[in-house]
Amino acid sequence: MSVDLGRIGIWVGSWAMQGPEGLAAAAELDELGFGALWLGGSSGDLRLVTDVLGVTRRLVVATGIVNVWTEPAATTAQAFAATSGAYPDRVLLGLGAGHKHHVEAVTEHRYLRPYSKVVSYLDELDAAPAPVPPQARVLAALGPKMLGLAGTRAGGAHPYLVTSEHTRRARQILGPGPLLAPEQTVLLESDPTRAREAARGMVSFYLIAPNYTNNWLRLGFTPDDLADGGSDRLVDALVAWGDLDAIRARIDEHHQAGADHVSLQVVAPRGEVPREAYRRLAAGLLH
């Protein structure tokens, strides 16, 4: 199995890609030349993945992520076999443990030992009647231990809301072979006040998630950076805002640090599909 993501893709929440408008946006991303579309909060039945594949010709569709607590491994394995069989080399299964506050709110699970939970999920995918090949899956890995697992039990890692310094450290842990595909949040806004206000609204949502805050502390940020919605220093490091040159420079930093592919998440109101921003990014970055 060989999945070519290209150098730049788009990351968007699944909730924004539902229905005719979302599928039309996916078809346009294909035409614009992006290599992959990452669907955040993906269901293990891969129905939306299949729908998107059906309206595109060459775009790789990746899950970013299927949650190992909420989506049964048997369902995911069966759906992956069917979808990848119908659309060879165009499906990538992103998996991860998600967040404690979400998992415990929507399931009966206690969010304990997430690393072990991911391992057991991978074991189930390996033991399924139609196993998911390790190279066809990537892990939402932030810390060193999960990154190590991504390099040995999966085809690589899909870190979310990280800096190029994290990409550099991740490549050192993964080694030269596995895929490294970080997400980079972007905002086409050059006014610092407006840009930081919008970016902080996105970043602050994750300040209650210890997996992210612990990762930022490992990268050298301080508790003060995590207070009051996040410092300018934190926001500027996590969200690439400005003109196309500023965003291109941040993407280049990730590639120079060892990324194979960078998925761009455009800051936009929840549920909005920022198609005009996609067109501007494609014109400035892909051609």
Say which residue the tokens 């394995």 belong to: 77
**Which two structure tokens, joined as six digits, stand for 123?**
């074991």
Whole-prediction pTM: 0.97
- Structure confidence at residue 1 (pLDDT): 52
Distance CA 124, CA 117 (A): 11
Q: Which two tokens stand for residue 285?
A: 């970055």
Contact 25, 37 (CB under 8 A): no
Q: What is the DSSP letter of 124?
A: H
Per-residue model confidence (pLDDT) at position 269: 87
Please give the Cα distance from 117 to 74 (Å, whole number). 15
B/e letters for 54-71, b = 16+ CB within 10 Å, e = fewer, are ebbeebbbbbbbbbbbeb
Decide: helix, strand or coil at residue 46: coil
d(CA 273, CA 8): 18
The pLDDT value given to residue 110 = 84
What pLDDT, on the 0 to 100 scale, is given for residue 83?
Answer: 98
The token pair at 258 is 């060892």
**How far apart are the C-alpha atoms of 134 and 114, rounded to whole Å?**
19
Contact 5, 60 (CB under 8 A): yes
pLDDT string in tens for the chain (287-residue length): 579 999 999 999 999 999 999 999 999 999 999 999 999 999 999 999 999 999 999 999 999 999 999 999 999 999 999 999 999 999 999 999 988 777 777 777 888 899 999 999 999 999 999 999 999 999 999 999 999 999 999 999 999 999 999 999 999 999 999 999 999 999 999 999 999 999 999 999 999 999 999 999 999 999 999 999 999 999 999 999 999 999 999 999 999 999 999 999 999 988 789 999 999 999 999 97
- pLDDT at residue 214 in the model: 97
Q: In which residue are the tokens 């040995």 written?
A: 152
Q: What string of H, E and C letters represents the secondary structure of 222-248?
A: CHHHHCCCCCHHHHHHHEEECCHHHHH
